[in-house]
Amino acid sequence: MKKVENLLPNKCTSKISIYFLMVFTLSLLLGLVGYAQEIYQQEPLLMPEAKAQEMDQKICGLDEVICPEETSAEIIEAEEMLKGSPMQGLGKAIVETANTQGVSWKLIIGLAYAESSLGRSYWFPYDKENCHNYWGIKPPAGRRADGSYLRCYYTDQDGINSIVGLLSRRYRDQRPEQMCGVYKKPCEQHWINNVNKYYKQG
């Protein structure tokens, strides 16, 4: 009988311990659920659009950074300059390619106007339809077999890449007045005036 009586307190103690353990576990789970709900209701980890725009505006204040808003305005202006010409639709490619090399996109359009009237005027009909060269760039040999002095490109983008590279290498930071006599031989005042019509616009 004594042996059974000694066991009773131990059983009660075990039940009480289990009960408190269950209560503690349940409280812990409820706490975790509440914490998870609180985190879920907070702002997402991704930056809100308003904050992203604010950061973009701050970055765009730096001189060396081209802002998306400014680029869009430039593209709109370039497209307006080319509107109605065979070069219409090339404004975006010209602006973006020129900006990557630090070249004036207005100078590129001005040269195209002086050399081909924005793609309207060529000596050889073949050049107008096939060469994608609006800037009077000559072939490496100086003259093609058919007699044309114009270099041909496969696409408009190839032509744009070529004029941007040429200006970046040989005429960086030069004005039309400085280029005349080198890019255009012999130098003629009306050529300078034609380039400046777009280069000095705005």
Q: What is the pLDDT of residues 110-155, one digit of tens each?
A: 999 999 999 999 999 999 999 999 999 998 877 788 888 899 999 9
Question: Do both 96 and 18 map to the same domain?
Answer: no
Q: Where are the alpha helices (DSSP H) in 42-90?
A: 49-60, 68-82
Q: What CATH number does residue 152 fall under?
A: 1.10.530
Q: What is the pLDDT of residues 14-24, one digit of tens each?
A: 666 676 677 66
C-beta separation of 180 from 193 below 8 A: no
Question: Do both 190 and 142 map to the same domain?
Answer: yes
Lowest average pLDDT, out of 30-34, 78-82, 106-110, 150-154, goes to: 30-34
Question: Do both 29 and 74 map to the same domain?
Answer: no
Spatial separation of the C-alpha atoms in residues 116 and 191, rounded to whole Å: 11
Question: Do both 183 and 84 map to the same domain?
Answer: yes
Question: Do both 60 and 112 map to the same domain?
Answer: yes
Question: Do both 16 and 57 map to the same domain?
Answer: no
Question: Do both 125 and 33 map to the same domain?
Answer: no
Q: What is the pLDDT of residue 146?
A: 84
- Res. 68: pLDDT tops 70: no
Q: What is the pLDDT of residues 156-168, one digit of tens each?
A: 999 999 999 999 9
Mean pLDDT calculated for residue range 71-84: 92
- Domain of residue 16, residue span: 1-42
Question: Do both 154 and 84 map to the same domain?
Answer: yes
C-beta separation of 150 from 122 below 8 A: yes
Question: Do both 30 and 77 map to the same domain?
Answer: no
Question: Do both 7 and 97 map to the same domain?
Answer: no
The domain total for the chain is 2
